[in-house]
Chain A
Amino acid sequence: MEFKVLKDILSANDQIAVENRELLDGNKVFAVNVMSSPGSGKTSTILQTIKGLKDKVKIAVIEGDVSSSIDAEKISKEGITALQINTGGECHLDANMLNRAIKNLPLEQIDLLFIENVGNLICTAEFQLGMHKNLVISSTAEGDDKPLKYPLMFTVADVVLINKMDLQPYIDFDVEAYKKAVVALNQRAEIFEISCTTGQGIDAWLAWLKKQMGI
């Protein structure tokens, strides 16, 4: 006999994502899922954000990596709570990994939580985590074709940062073509040009973030 199932394979993940959101909301934590290719500047952007906001809000970071705790160590140096998740081979974080991590954080003492996802533009977009906003970072060094190659990632983005703008004069990266492709696919996401090295554009990104947090 044939039995109709009609269920999303990731429905169990999505249910836990809803639970994660409730847990965060219950503790008034605003959470941002940070996604990009490896080396686009996820950790650097988080560090710049910490620098700009740590006097105003209490920040914590969950670092997702296949292995190592290099990123968590960089964040801890700033006096910020950092929790490392090693996925042990998995190329993305899922809602359940996040659920365990969140429960290990002092949520009542946190205003802003960054989830640094595994560097990967494909499957990280498919696993809902239950965070409030999806931040997607591209860097000029990667080339301007990323929104054309990874439509799913740019569909789920709430905000897009183009990092390493200081390198742009030396690189064949067409900012307008990149933006046009993002906007064609996603009219909701705001796009900011930044450089974590020079600090260019960081204020505009921080202003956007503060507005979302209502501060």
Chain B
Amino acid sequence: MHELAITEEMVKLVAEEAARAGIEKVEKINLIVGKLTGYVNESIQFYFDVLSKNTVAEGAQLFFETIPGMLQCNSCRKTFELDHFDYICPVCNGVGVKLVGGNELRVESIEGD
């Protein structure tokens, strides 16, 4: 359900940026979505189709790049993917990590004429 709020913001941001770039019709929107945000691409797409009507972004294609959850070990500083939920470093078995990726939610670029 929370995709509604962020898609509203996304459509607003795209309209602002298109105006800045002098784009009158947005064809593609490249998005970066971190896995840990829990946002569902299909749901963003669903709301986008409704919310973009009568805007510069109507009919634009959405491209999603998913960023995995990434942790950095506090002991050995190696980064590793959060693929099993125990927060233990697979390199040195250290306990104690910092979240360094996976919470992104960004418009990377827009394409159009």
Contacts of B36 in A (CB 8 A): 151-152
Which of A76-84, A86-94, A104-112 touches B? A86-94
For A123, list chain B residues within 8 Å (CB). 2, 37-38
Q: Which residues from B are CB-within-8-Å of A90?
A: 1-2, 4-5
Q: Please encode chain B, from 1 to 27, with 1 for each CB lying within 8 Å of some chain A CB and 0 for all others.
A: 110111001101110011011010000
Question: B107 near A: Cβ within 8 Å?
Answer: yes
A215 interface residue (CB < 8 Å to B): no
Chain B contact residues: helix, strand, loop or mixed: mixed
A102 at the interface (CB under 8 A from B): no
Measured in the bound complex, the distance between the Cα atoms of B13 and A152 in whole Å is 24
Select from chain B the residue with minimum beta-carbon distance to A120.
B2
Q: Is the interface of A mostly helix, strand, loop or mixed?
A: mixed
Q: Which residue of A lies closest to B36 (CB)?
A: A152
Q: In the complex, A184→B69 CA distance in Å?
A: 15
Pair B12/A92 contact, Cβ less than 8 Å: no
A123, closest chain B residue (CB): B2
- B84-113 vs A, CB cutoff 8 Å, 1 = contact: the mask equals 011110000001110100111111111111
Count the A-B residue pairs with Cβ separation under 8 angstroms: how many?
105
Which residues of the other chain, A, contact B86 by a CB distance below 8 angstroms? Answer: 148, 181, 184
Say yes or no for B74: interface residue by CB 8 A criterion. yes
B12 touches A185 (CB 8 A): no
Given contacts A122-B2, A151-B99, are A5 and B13 in contact (CB under 8 A)?
yes
Flag if B38 contacts A7 (CB, 8 Å): no
Q: A122-B2, A126-B37 are in contact. Are A5 and B82 (CB under 8 A)?
A: no
Cα of A1 to Cα of B14 in the assembled complex, Å: 14
- Distance to closest chain A CB from B66 (angstroms): 15
The docked-state distance in angstroms from the alpha carbon of A89 to that of B3 is 12
Q: Is the CB of B13 within 8 A of A9?
A: yes
Spell out A's residues near B (CB within 8 Å). 1-13, 89-92, 94, 122-123, 126, 148-149, 151-152, 155, 180-181, 183-185, 187
A–B Cβ pairs within 8 angstroms, 30 of them: A1-B23, A1-B113, A2-B111, A3-B23, A3-B110, A3-B112, A4-B108, A7-B13, A7-B106, A7-B107, A9-B6, A9-B13, A10-B6, A11-B13, A89-B1, A90-B2, A90-B4, A91-B1, A92-B5, A94-B5, A122-B38, A148-B86, A148-B87, A149-B85, A151-B85, A152-B102, A183-B96, A184-B88, A184-B95, A185-B99
